[in-house]
Amino acid sequence: MAACFVMGTAMGGDAAQAMSVVVNTDPLVFLTILSRAKGALVVMSEDGIFRTKYRYLTVYKGLTFQTKSAEPLTLPADVELLTAESISIPER
């Protein structure tokens, strides 16, 4: 991880973003991943203008997984939930 940061800093910051992977999943797959990752940290944010949308992120086996849902997800009891104002993921 430190190598990515140093290399990304040396190359103007874009290299670190290019090396990260975000896997988009549907909510059911996301919940399945959480059931396998005991004590996972989940970052959640709410956004939307006319309708509230819920966005969730977690890391499992080195990959970052993301899902969006129109309704709040019922997370496993052992999940540590961090509520964020927003989640920004650069799209290419």
Measured between alpha carbons, how far is 31 from 29 in angstroms, rounded to an integer?
A: 5
Q: Residue 3: is its pLDDT beyond 90?
A: no
Secondary element (H or E) of residue 33 = helix 27-36
Q: Which domains does the chain have, with CATH numbers?
A: 20-83 (3.30.720)
What is residue 92's predicted lDDT score, i.e. its pLDDT?
62
Q: pLDDT tens-digit profile of 61-89?
A: 999 999 999 999 999 999 999 999 988 87
Q: Specify the pLDDT at position 72.
A: 96
Local structure of 65: helix, strand or coil: strand
For residues 7 and 66, what is the distance between their CA atoms, to the nearest angstrom?
A: 25
